[in-house]
Structure 1
Amino acid sequence: MIAHVKDYIESYAAGKISFNQERIELVNYIKREVEPRVASGEIYFDMKQIESCIGYIEKWFFALDDFQKFIISFVFLYFKENKRNVYRKILIMIARGNGKNGLLSGIGSYLTTPMHGISKYNISIVANSEDQAKTSFDEIYDTIESHEELEKLFGKPRKSEIKNIQTKSLFKFRTSNGNTKDGLRDGAVIFDEIHQYESNKDVKVHISGLGKRPNPREFYIGTDGYVRDGFIDQMKELAKRVLKGEAKWNALFPFICKLDDVSQVDDKTKWELANPMFSAPMTEYAQGLFETVSEDYEDLEDNPSGRDEFMTKRMNYPVTDTERSVATHEELVATKRDFPDLHGRIATGGFDFASIRDFIAVGALFKIDGNYIFKSHSFVRKGFVDAFYGYSKPKEAINGKRQFAPIKKWEKEGLLTVLDEPSMNPQHVVDWFVRMRDEEGYDFQTICGDNFRMDIIKPLFEAEGFEVSWNDKFEAPLGYRVEVIRNFRAIDALLAPRIEDAFANQKVIFGNNDMMRWYTQNVLRRLKSDGNVEYVKKEETRRKTDGFKAFEAAMYKADELNNEELTDFYDNNAWFYE
C-alpha cells in the first residue's frame, strides 16, 4: 500500500487521529477489497500521477492535509489490464469549512493539464445556484490570473470558461437546472451542494455525456442537508452498501466524516470526526476555523434555534426532527407569568384575520427587561365553536369525548368574545386596537396583519385615523400605522430565530392566558428542504393557530420596541445625568 494511504490509516491505528464509524468501515473496506487486489497486481496506484497532482496543488493552490492526499490517491487508482480508473464515482461528505471546494479546484484544474495526459478532458462543476457553481471556478480563475507561469499553460482565463492551451480541455460551471446540459463531452463532472438535490434527475442529464473521453469521473461533494429521501440519502445508502460488501466493490469511493452520535457535539475533541482538519496538529487555517466553530457552538446557549444548522452543517449530522412543536411544554409553562403595568407603554400590534367564520386574534406586544409580553384577545363565531367544540352543550352532553378547547371557560376568563354572527365583522378588530390605544394608553408604533382580506378591513382602520400601507412607506406618525404583510408565510423563516430563541430563553410572557399557550402548542415547526422554517397547523380544523400568527405579526416589528428598553434605561438612571 502506498505511503499516503498507509500513513493515514496508521495514524488512526496509533490513536493519533480519530475516525468516525464511516471512516473505520472505509479502513476495513480497503483492507478487504483494495489491498488484496493491489497485492495481486489487478489494480495499482499511479504514483507519478498522485505525486504530480499533489505537487501541482501545493505549488499553485495550498498545502494539503494528510486526509486530502489520501483522497487524491484513490482518484488515480487504475486497473492494470486496461489502465482504466477504478473509481468513476467519488463521494466526499465533510462538515462545512474543511476545504472540499478548494480540494476539487486543485484536482479539477490538474485533470485539465498535460500532466494528466488526456486531451479535451473537459470538466463541469454543477450546483443549484450559479454563485455556488462558480466557487471552484473562481478559485482556479484567480489562481491562474495571479501567476504568469500558469497563464502560459491556460492563457488568459475567461469569466465563462477556463481553457488549457495544450490539452484543449475546458473547465466550466453550470447550474443543475441550466438549459445547456445535453450533448456535453465532459471528462469529469463535479457535483456541489448535493444535499439540495431532490432526485438524480439532473445528475443523470449531466453525466450522460461522460464516457466519450478516457477515464470518466464523477465527484460528489457536500455537507448533509435537510432533504430526506432525496439524492444525498441515495448516495449515503450506496456508500453504506459498498462499505459493507453488499454492492459492487468499486461502485463508489466514499469518504464521509461526521459525528457518530448527537451527544458528541458537546465534546470538542470529537469534532475531528466531522472535520478532519481538526486532527492534530492543526494548520493555521484549521485553528482559525476551529475558533469560528467554537464561537458558533457557544452562541447556541443564547440562540438555540441555530442548533439544527450547527449540527447539520458544522457536524455533518443532519437533524431528524424536521417537524416539531414551536415550543416545548416547559417553555410554554414559562410563559405563565404576570404582566407588569402596561399602561402607556410602547407596543406593536398584530392580528390574524384570515377567516371570518371561525377565529380572529388580535394582540399587543411589549418588550420590557428583555421579555416579550403579549396581551391578546380572540373573537370566535358561535356557529363554529358550537359545531366543533360543543360550546352551547352542557358539559355532560359531550359524552366523554375529547374537548379540544374549553371555549366557555376561556370566555368567562375574558380571553375571547363569542359572536353570534353569520360571519364576524372586521370592525371588532379595529375597535379592539382603538380601545387599547385610547383606554389603556398603549403607544402602538405599528400594527401588522396579513394581506388576506385587507381590502375589507383597510377602510375601517382609515376611518379611525390609521394609515394602511403595503410597502412600509408611511406619511402618518408612529401609532397610526397599519403595515400589510404581503406574504405572511415568507416571514416564518425570518422570524423563527427570534421567536424560538425567545421561547427557549424563557423571554415570552403570555400572562394568565391559557388560550395563547393552546394556540402556540397547535403550531408545527417544519424544516423545509432549503433549511428554512415554516409554521403550519398540526391539524387543520380544531387546532387553531390564530393567536400565534397574531403574535408573529407583532414580532415582525419588534425592533421598534427597542426604544422602550432605552427609555427604561434613561428613566431608571436619571440621577446619573442630573
Structure 2
Amino acid sequence: MSNYLLEYREAIGSGEIIAGAELITELDNLIADMRNPRYIYDTTDAETRIDFMENCIRLTKSPFYGKPMELMKWQKAFIEVVYSFKFADKTYIDPSGFERHIDRFQKIVLLIGRKNAKSETCSGLTLTESIVGNEGADLVCSSNDDSQASILYDAIDTMRLMIDPNQQDTRKNQRCIRILATNSKIFKLSDRTRNKEGRNIDFAVVDEVHEMKTNIILKSIEQSQSLKDNPKLIIITTEGFVVDGALDEILRDCRRVIHGEDTGVAAERLLPWLYTQDSEQEVWADERSWQKSNPSLGTVKKWDYLRTQIDMARKSKSDRIFVLSKDFNFKQNSVQAWLGVEDYKYDGVYDLETFRNALCLGAVDLSETTDMTSAKILICKKGMKTKYIHSHYWIPESKLENSDDTEAGAKYKEWAKQGLLTICDGNDIDLTLVADWFFQLYKEYGFRLYKCGYDVRFSKEFLRRMEEYGFESELVLQNKLTLSNAMKLCEADLKARNVNYNQNEIDAWCLGNAAMEMDNLGNVQAVKVDGQPSKRIDGAVTLIIAYEMYRRYRSDVMR
C-alpha cells in the first residue's frame, strides 16, 4: 500500500522536488502526527478518490483536453492527507449504518501559484466526491463572484459529460448538477447569490479567496456544515492585493498552525498546504527555486512561460508586483510607488521651435479647486522612439499659501516665474484658459492638435471653448480598464529614456509623487499615496492620458 505523504517528503529530501520551508515544516508535522495515538492514518478513502480521478476523470483544458487525469506527486500527497487522518476516539454512523471514524481535517487551505492546476484538481475532486462520497450530499463551487465560481462548475460539468455523454446517470438544470446514483447535487455559490444562509453543505471548494475583503461566504459555508459529521471546506487561492482581507486572516491562522503556535480545537482541524518561496532574492537568482511555489512546473506550467514572466518583471514595476503575487505568492500591497528617481530624472531638453507646424496629441487633467489642472501635448518625430512632451499647469490663487503642498515639495510661485504655471485669481480655475493654451500654441508654433484626451469631470466649459477653436476632444475615463496599458507603456518609455519632457520641474514632481494601484487582473492606475493628498500627481495622470491617445492614434500621427 502506497503512502504518498512519505513518498512526497522523501522526493523533497532527495532533491528531486524543491519545496519551501513552510511546506516542509507542515509535512514534517503531519508525518510526526502519523505516530500520534490520537489519530488513525487510514488511506482507504483517499485511495478510492485517487483511483477514481486517475481512471475516470478527464482533463478539460487545452493542451491536455480529454486526457486522463494523471495526478502528480503533490496532488496525491495532498488528497491523501485530506482524507486519511482520522480521530481515533471520534466516530459517526454513515447512511449505510456503518460506524466510521471522523476525519481530522475539516478546513483545508491550498495556497499555490497560478496555472498549477489547482482549479482542475479541485473540480475533479468535487465530481469524484459527488459519486463516491456520501449519498444525498450537497457540494458547492464558490468564489467571490459568479464568473469565478463558474470556472470550477463548468469544468465539473465538462468532466461529467465525458463520463456520461448521454446523461443517463447525471442531470444538469439551471440550479445544479445532480448525480442520480447518489442523489447528490453540485451547485454554485458566490457573493452575489441570494440567501447564502440556511444551506446544508457537505463539501465546498472556494476559489480565489484573495479577492475577498470579508469572509462572509466562508462563514456562511462553515455555518451550513455545522450539522455534518464529516464536512470539507477546501480553500484554493494565490496571493493577492487586498490588505487585511479574508486571505490575510486565513494565512495568519495557517502559519500559527505550521509553527505550533496554535494547538486549539479549530487549529487541529485546519490543514495548511502552502506553496511559498523562502525569499524574494531566490526568485531572481535561482530558477530552480521557482518550484517552491509552482509544484506543477515542467508538467503543467511551462518553464518558458515563467522565464518570460520573470524577464518582464525585471523591466516593469507593474509586472513585477503581479508576478511576485500570482506566480510566487508574495503578498503585495495594491498601492506602491510607481517610478524610481532614476526612471524620470535624466538629461533631456529640446527647443519647441524645432517642431514648428508639427501634428500633436493633447491631454488634460481638469480640476476646479483643490488639485492642479494640467495640460500636455505629445509630439513624435518620424522614425524616432522619443516622445516630446510640452506641459502647462494652472492652480487657484488660494493654493499658494497651502503649507501641506509646500511641505510636499510644491514651489508654485517659483514655477509661475519660470512660466510653467499660471496662477488663477480666486478659489477656482477658469477651464477655458486650458483651451486657450492649446490655441496659443497653434498661433505661436503652428502646432496642429489632432485629438485631445479629457476626463468627464469639470469638462463642460473646456469642451465648449475647444469646440469654438475647432479642436476635437475625446473622452478618456480615468480607471484601470482604460489606462492600464497606457501606464505600462509610459513606464517602459520612461525607463528607456524615450520620454523628453524638457526637464519640466512640475512634471518631475508629479511623476515622483505618483503611486500605482493594481487589481487582481494586473490592471493598473496612477493614484496618490494614502495619507499624502498634498503630493500632486496631476502631471503624471495627464502624461498617461496622452499615452492613451498615442495608443489610439499612433498610426495616424506617425503618418
TM-score, normalised to structure 2's length?
A: 0.87
Aligned: 1:193 with 2:193:
no
Letter of the aligned partner of 1:109 in structure 2? L
**Identity value in percent:** 20
CA shift, 1:67, in A, is 0.5
Once residues 495 and 169 of structure 1 are traced to their aligned partners in structure 2, the CA distance between those partners, rounded to angstroms, is: 49
Change (3 A) 1:215 1:411: same
Query: Which residue does 1:44 correspond to in 2?
Result: 40
- Unmatched 5+ stretches in structure 2: 59-68, 92-100
Change (3 A) 1:507 1:454: same
Q: Please give the secondary structure, in 1, of the residue aligned with 2:272.
A: strand
Aligned: 1:68 with 2:68:
no
Equivalent residue in structure 1 for 2:496, among 495, 505, 523: 505
CA shift, 1:66, in A, is 0.5
Once residues 150 and 237 of structure 1 are traced to their aligned partners in structure 2, the CA distance between those partners, rounded to angstroms, is: 47
Aligned: 1:292 with 2:311:
no
Aligned: 1:324 with 2:336:
yes
- The within-5 A match list for 1:92-103 is 92-103=110-121
Once residues 8 and 88 of structure 2 are traced to their aligned partners in structure 1, the CA distance between those partners, rounded to angstroms, is: 24
Q: Deviations over 1:40-74 (max 9, x none)?
A: 3x433333322221111112231000010001111
- Unmatched 5+ stretches in structure 1: 391-400, 466-479, 568-578
CA shift, 1:454, in A, is 1.7
Q: Deviations over 1:411-462 (max 9, x none)?
A: 3332223344564433321111112223312232211222222222232222
Aligned: 1:307 with 2:320:
yes
Once residues 347 and 187 of structure 2 are traced to their aligned partners in structure 1, the CA distance between those partners, rounded to angstroms, is: 55
Q: Indicate conservation of the 8 Å contact 1:350/1:448, yes or no.
A: yes
Q: Indicate conservation of the 8 Å contact 2:487/2:547, yes or no.
A: no
CA shift, 1:304, in A, is 4.2
Aligned: 1:119 with 2:135:
yes
Query: Which residue does 1:472 correspond to in 2?
Result: none
Change (3 A) 1:422 1:98: closer
Equivalent residue in structure 1 for 2:430, among 403, 425, 434: 425
Letter of the aligned partner of 1:522 in structure 2? N
Q: Indicate conservation of the 8 Å contact 1:366/1:561, yes or no.
A: no
Count of paired positions: 529
Letter of the aligned partner of 1:56 in structure 2? F
Once residues 403 and 228 of structure 1 are traced to their aligned partners in structure 2, the CA distance between those partners, rounded to angstroms, is: 26
Change (3 A) 1:436 1:122: same
Query: Which residue does 1:373 correspond to in 2?
Result: 388
Once residues 440 and 560 of structure 1 are traced to their aligned partners in structure 2, the CA distance between those partners, rounded to angstroms, is: 25
Aligned: 1:481 with 2:472:
yes
Equivalent residue in structure 1 for 2:161, among 131, 135, 145: 145
Aligned: 1:440 with 2:436:
no
Q: Please give the secondary structure, in 2, of the residue aligned with 1:141.
A: helix
Q: Indicate conservation of the 8 Å contact 2:388/2:501, yes or no.
A: yes
Query: Which residue does 2:148 correspond to in 1?
Result: 132
Query: Which residue does 1:277 correspond to in 2?
Result: 296
Once residues 130 and 540 of structure 1 are traced to their aligned partners in structure 2, the CA distance between those partners, rounded to angstroms, is: 36
Change (3 A) 1:561 1:334: farther
Q: Indicate conservation of the 8 Å contact 2:142/2:204, yes or no.
A: yes
Q: Please give the secondary structure, in 2, of the residue aligned with 1:112.
A: helix
Once residues 230 and 522 of structure 2 are traced to their aligned partners in structure 1, the CA distance between those partners, rounded to angstroms, is: 36
CA shift, 1:257, in A, is 0.5
Q: Please give the secondary structure, in 2, of the residue aligned with 1:12.
A: helix
Once residues 488 and 296 of structure 1 are traced to their aligned partners in structure 2, the CA distance between those partners, rounded to angstroms, is: 25
Q: Deviations over 1:53-98 (max 9, x none)?
A: 1111112231000010001111212223311011001111100011
Once residues 480 and 5 of structure 2 are traced to their aligned partners in structure 1, the CA distance between those partners, rounded to angstroms, is: 51
- The within-5 A match list for 1:320-399 is 320=333, 322-334=334-346, 336-338=348-350, 341-356=354-369, 359-368=372-381, 369-386=384-401, 388=403
- Tell me whether 6-15 or 210-219 shows the greater mean CA deviation: 210-219
Letter of the aligned partner of 1:440 in structure 2? Y
Once residues 162 and 488 of structure 1 are traced to their aligned partners in structure 2, the CA distance between those partners, rounded to angstroms, is: 38
Q: Indicate conservation of the 8 Å contact 1:520/1:545, yes or no.
A: yes
Query: Which residue does 2:97 correspond to in 1?
Result: none
Q: Indicate conservation of the 8 Å contact 1:144/1:150, yes or no.
A: no
- Tell me whether 81-90 or 517-526 shows the greater mean CA deviation: 517-526
Q: Please give the secondary structure, in 1, of the residue aligned with 2:542.
A: helix
Aligned: 1:543 with 2:535:
yes
